Chains A and B, each alone.
Chain A
Amino acid sequence: MDEEIVIGMGKLVVVNQPAILSGIGLGSCVGLMLYDSVKKVSGMAHIMLPDSQKAKFLETKHTSIIADDEEFTTKTFKNSLIEKEYEISAITNTVEDTLSKFKELSPFLTLISSSFSQDSLNKLLEDIFLINKTANVVIAEKNSKDFYIPYLVKGVIDVITPPIYKKKIDFSLDFVNNQRYFRFADIAINKMLDKMYSFGCSKENIKAKVVGGAHMFSHCQVKIRNIGEENSKKVIEILNDLKVPIVQKVVGGDVGRTVKFNTSDYSVKITSKEGEITL
């Protein structure tokens, strides 16, 4: 059984290894799945709102911790962070030190290089997410290319795989900086495609599946904004504009759905209070 990565409201994950990507309890939200069966890259976004035009976020202070015990990567991390206008609050080189600084500073971003031993790194991640379930953690995996799904399962936003160089870190930071906008259809789709291109996908091979967009309160006399329809319409419209073919779509209705996307065969399992279907 492949490992399951839960994509919470407003999150986005792209992988190039077998995993189950799941969006739980999609009501008016839309679960958008894109995949490239040639490069074997798949992703899911849990979209909440149609349009980022009206979004008005307050600025967040971008503080960061760098955890690494090698000079070369620290330098590369530092340069990228400074360019992206992050404040570097601490640089640590042991697991214990990282955790205590994390507790003390509660940084916006924690950038960890996996030169630490696997066990101690796992423990560190567990502790970090115990303190703050929504901590932004990016891992620079040094040792192996293939071992990164378990990090994503734990809640890490992004994993940089070897070889590690500045461009990859920059790309990852861009992903983190934009993640609060992943709840909007327009930005989620763009960033998901960018991420897939970074895995070597080409646009001609990318296909889409769309699930969700229900109208949860349809049976009542009062008019409630049908945000589900707005969401699914917007997603479909953007995909059409980009000429990404939609191979399956299950949208509308008035039930919440849980969708599980198997990235080894691109099958989709949808569960609702009414039952279960596999597409």
Chain B
Amino acid sequence: MEEHYSLSTDELEALKELGNIGIGNAAIALSKILDKKVNMSIPDTSFIPITTFSDHFGGPDSIVMTIFSPILGELSGETLFIFSQQSGKGLVDLMMGNEPGNTVNELDEMGESAFKEMANIFVGTYLNAISDMMNIKLLPGVPIVATDMVESILNIFLLKNGEYADNILCSKANISIDGHKVDGDFIFLFDLESLQKIVKKIKESYGDLVN
């Protein structure tokens, strides 16, 4: 497969590791808030073709609940939570201290705010871990909630990278909560300039990876 950033295998490994640490921390934070065991898979970091991106999330027209939150500060990128409607509502219920199944209709203001708060905490912790490790400033942007077809939302997520790449380097981790039917994905990516910065920074701090 064609890859449109020139990354060596070692550089890709380093990026994967960075994702792992960030996600690990974020999962712990979410567990604490919900007081439930949150399972996170090891993020799968790979190049995904734009044209088939939505196939990884249940097909282009499946309706999903998402929270979009940009990465701000010294790096720029995007994060996105994708839940099925049932899972998303279940998660909101857990945040509010209810049993999943309580929220049936559209989210009310409180629900939406709880959903955003979950994203804030998760993305905040994730970025904190990365900034500590790399000694750079990173901040989560204001989270935005949208419920619609997967492909229509992914469009915003893929926008910046779409200007120069056919295949996008993206990390994807599965989130699930034990005993409750909450199951979704957290995906994140950095733009090209930021990727180059990260690789440079890692090389500076940990020496040349190729030896």
Contacts and interface: CB of A to CB of B under 8 A. Distances in A.
A216 B63 contact: no
Interface in A178-237: 180, 183, 214, 216-217, 220-222, 224-225, 227
Contact of B52 (A48, A55, A134): A134
A273 interface: yes
B159 A227 contact: yes
B165 interface: yes
Nearest 6 CB-CB pairings of A with B = A27-B152, A256-B152, A25-B151, A25-B149, A8-B51, A256-B149
B73 interface: no
Interface of B: 1-2, 4-6, 49-55, 59-61, 63, 68, 141-142, 144-156, 158-159, 162-166
Contact of A216 (B2, B52, B153): B153
Contact of A133 (B49, B144, B146, B165): B49
B60 A48 contact: no
Nearest to A48: B162
A113 B150 CA distance: 37
Nearest to A56: B164
Contact of B53 (A9, A132, A216): A9
Contact of A49 (B52, B60, B163): B163
A58 B164 contact: yes
Contacts of A61: 2
A60 interface: yes
Nearest to A106: B1
A106 B49 CA distance: 15
B6 A58 contact: yes
Q: Main SS of the interface on chain A?
A: loop
Nearest to B49: A134
B163 A54 contact: yes
A19 B153 CA distance: 27
Given A9-B51, A48-B155, A48-B162, A25 B142 contact: no
B154 to A, nearest CB: 8
Given A25-B60, A134-B52, 12 more contacts: A9-B53, A9-B151, A10-B162, A11-B51, A27-B151, A48-B50, A48-B159, A57-B4, A58-B6, A133-B49, A222-B144, A257-B152
Interface of A: 8-11, 24-29, 48-49, 54-58, 60-61, 106, 108, 132-134, 180, 183, 214, 216-217, 220-222, 224-225, 227, 255-258, 271-273
9 contacts: A25-B150, A48-B155, A49-B162, A134-B49, A134-B166, A216-B148, A217-B156, A220-B142, A258-B61
Contacts of B154: 27
A26 B150 CA distance: 9
